[in-house]
Amino acid sequence: MADISASSKWHEECGIFGAYSHTEDVSMMTYLGLYALQHRGQESAGIAVTDGAWMDVSRGMGLVNEVFRHQIPHMDNQYIAVGHVRYSTTGSSLLANTQPLMVNYAGGKISLAHNGNLTNAAQIRREMEEQGNIFQTSIDSEVFVNLIARSKAASIEDKIIESMKKIEGAYCLTIMTEDKLIGARDPHGFRPLCIGRAGDTWVLSSESCALSVAGVHYVRDVEPGEMVVIDKHGLKSYKFATVEKKAACIFEYIYFARPDSIIDGQSVHEARFMMGRILARESKFKGDIVISVPDSGTTAATGFAYESGIPFVEGLIKNRYIGRTFIQPTQKKRDIAVKLKLNPIVSVVKDKDIIMVDDSIVRGTTSGKIVRMLRKAGAKSIRMCVSSPPIGYPCYYGIDTSVRKELIAATKTVEEIREYIKADALHFLSLEGLKASIQSASSDDMCCACFNNYYPVESPKNDTVGADKYVFEHLKK
């Protein structure tokens, strides 16, 4: 079995959601919200609900519609829910590692959904284990709930704040107690989290694209270093930390987020369209048509076409039905996976000078296969434009990155990459161009570490271990 849906892209780790309402069905809202956040994680899904006394969680491996095929969690008087979709960044693909995590502690029950990656989780966990703690999963969210449970602070709010002060790295959280829905975003604001509302109904969501389907309107983003507590008194804000410079992940705008989301005031589509426009200006590429590698390159491609006046045409068709497939090992060798997913439209590309736009190049193998495919279909020339700079450095903040040596841009120049993928020309968007694309948000508040090696939070020393999602599983070996 091969998962040919697995792209050569970097993977965003998770989507989180929370709903508080005495009038609406919070479980259904969360279910619909997770549907809209499915692009952030397809490995597992979970929903926890409470009626103020009991708390229940339902989790499983697979897409939201697979996990909740027959039913969604339901309690008669449920009024708070949190949900999670996951692409594994820490921990193996095990049922035990699915979220939300639901635990008992001295203060009651809490359920927690987490998006991000803690850079000092391994160290804290080791310390806790030395003090006699056990760990039943290999996800760093379990460190979080242990910190909360061990806090001597009086209120749950203070317990969470105290815990967050010990934690470093990237995290957004939606936490549910028996009577509160709590959201928090790390001081750098690596990952997005926004607030939606309709009357007394409140929602927390990784992205604003999930708000309308949940029936609420966008209020604002949770601020970096802010915790919001929603209960019967409404929403209360706590500022638990400030840092000199915020560091929102710029890759959310390049690839992760859905184009119809707005993050920190910046429309994702607008940013991505502008990347395409600036690409056109920077590259000065000419050709007969602009095509995209669907779907991730399409917005920038339309921007390129807009700026250059060269028409945008579909040149590659993406099979919409790809999932886990049953392919024999011998078949795999023959590029079947890419062929199943993408097919060129011969009548479009034949005898054409093509400008092809994609969002990023990680290892370069897929780009090479696509170029070969287009050439075989008769393309006269292929100029490739990438709407991000070369990725030369790994991510420690929640992206499923390979170790540095697997990143093609860590070891090859742009010209060497061009030669490797056999394109006629290759242009990467400059970092300046990228930052200029993000006009509504302050581009100084962005984390661009994967491009410029400037890490806002100290990274683990060893770059093999640091970015390793199996970190907790190796510890004891």
Positions marked catalytic: 14
157 within 8 A of 107, measured Cβ to Cβ: no
Q: Is 162 an interacting residue with respect to a copy of itself (CB under 8 A)?
A: no
Cα–Cα distance, 188 to 184 (Å, whole number): 12
User: Tell me, what amino acid is at 284?
Assistant: K
Interface stretch with a copy of itself, choices 99-107, 225-233, 416-424, 429-437 (CB under 8 A): 99-107
Q: Which of 169, 209, 204 is nearest to 189 (CA)?
A: 169
Residue among 2, 7, 8, 38 that touches a copy of itself (CB under 8 A): 38
Residue 447 in marked binding region: yes
Q: How far is the CB of 421 from a copy of itself (least distance, A)?
A: 20
Q: Is 293 an interacting residue with respect to a copy of itself (CB under 8 A)?
A: no
Cα–Cα distance, 39 to 334 (Å, whole number): 28
Interface stretch with a copy of itself, choices 98-106, 179-187, 222-230, 458-466 (CB under 8 A): 98-106
According to DSSP, the β-strands at 425-428 and 381-386 are parallel
Tokens standing for residue 304 = 């390129």
Residue 296 in marked binding region: yes
Q: How far is the CB of 188 from a copy of itself (least distance, A)?
A: 25
Residue among 187, 189, 215, 389 that touches a copy of itself (CB under 8 A): 215
Q: Which of the residues 451 through 470 are near a copy of itself (CB under 8 A)?
A: none
Q: Is 212 an interacting residue with respect to a copy of itself (CB under 8 A)?
A: yes
Q: Which of the residues 303 through 332 are near a copy of itself (CB under 8 A)?
A: 305-306, 311-314, 317, 319-328, 331
Nearer to a copy of itself, 280 or 417 (CB): 280
Q: Is 6 an interacting residue with respect to a copy of itself (CB under 8 A)?
A: no
Q: Is 150 an interacting residue with respect to a copy of itself (CB under 8 A)?
A: yes
- For 401, how many CA atoms within 13 A lie in the half-sphere containing its CB? 27
Q: Which of the residues 41 through 70 are near a copy of itself (CB under 8 A)?
A: 42, 53-54, 63-65, 68-70
What distances in angstroms separate CA 382 from CA 175, 347, 421, 429, one per listed residue?
49, 16, 11, 17
Contact map string, positions 258 to 277, toward a copy of itself, x by CB under 8 A: xxx-x----x-xx--x----
Cα–Cα distance, 385 to 301 (Å, whole number): 9
Q: What is the DSSP string of 48-92?
A: EEE-SS-EEEEEEES-HHHHTSS-----TT--EEEEEEE--SSS-
What distances in angstroms separate CA 383 from CA 282, 285, 370, 375, 392, one per listed residue?
13, 7, 12, 12, 22
Q: Which of 268, 328, 345, 324 is nearest to 300 (CA)?
A: 268
Nearer to a copy of itself, 17 or 68 (CB): 68
Give the count of residues interacting with a copy of itself (CB under 8 A): 91
Phi (first) and psi of residue 216, to 5 degrees = -125, 165
Q: Which of 321, 317, 185 is nearest to 252 (CA)?
A: 185
Cα–Cα distance, 115 to 99 (Å, whole number): 10
DSSP 256: I
Tokens standing for residue 223 = 């601020």
Residue 359 in marked binding region: yes
Interface stretch with a copy of itself, choices 189-197, 225-233, 338-346, 408-416 (CB under 8 A): 338-346
Residue among 23, 77, 104, 452 that touches a copy of itself (CB under 8 A): 104
Which value, to the nearest 10 degrees, does the dihedral of the CA atoms of residues 199, 205, 209, 211 take?
A: -20
Q: Is 396 an interacting residue with respect to a copy of itself (CB under 8 A)?
A: no
Q: Is 238 an interacting residue with respect to a copy of itself (CB under 8 A)?
A: no
Residue among 19, 49, 80, 102 that touches a copy of itself (CB under 8 A): 102
Q: How far is the CB of 26 from a copy of itself (least distance, A)?
A: 13
Nearer to a copy of itself, 318 or 412 (CB): 318
DSSP 178: S
Cα–Cα distance, 385 to 299 (Å, whole number): 13
Q: Is 145 an interacting residue with respect to a copy of itself (CB under 8 A)?
A: yes
Residue among 76, 106, 244, 329 that touches a copy of itself (CB under 8 A): 106
Contact map string, positions 399 to 438, toward a copy of itself, x by CB under 8 A: ----------------------------------------
Nearer to a copy of itself, 244 or 329 (CB): 329
Cα–Cα distance, 215 to 196 (Å, whole number): 9
- Residues belonging to the binding site for Mg(2+) are 296, 358-359
